[in-house]
Amino acid sequence: MKAITLRNLPPELTRIIRQKADKQHASINRVVIGLLENSVGVRGKKGEMTLYHDLDALAGTWTREEAAAFNRALTRQRAIDPELWRR
């Protein structure tokens, strides 16, 4: 396996990676590999589910008001008009 050198990591990122390594009792290398595997959706350890991030840009972007408006619109669309179902 090839080695990759990362330069100029922001101090905050370095701090977070070190904290994760300490918390997981793992090496910084293992933590970085795990973060990269998760971010691109590749299987890490055997048996783990593959993560997909296809819709991440959409998740959690609505305000409460926007979500409520969407739900109201869905409720109206789901209403059954008995006149349409008469024979």
DSSP line for 4-56: ----S--HHHHHHHHHHHHHHT--HHHHHHHHHHHHHT---STTPPPP--TTT
**Number of other residues whose CB lies within 10 A of the CB of residue 67:** 12
Tens of pLDDT, residue by residue over 26-71, are: 999 999 998 988 888 776 566 566 666 677 677 778 889 999 999 9
CB 26 within 8 A of CB 32: no
More confidently predicted of 22 and 85: 22
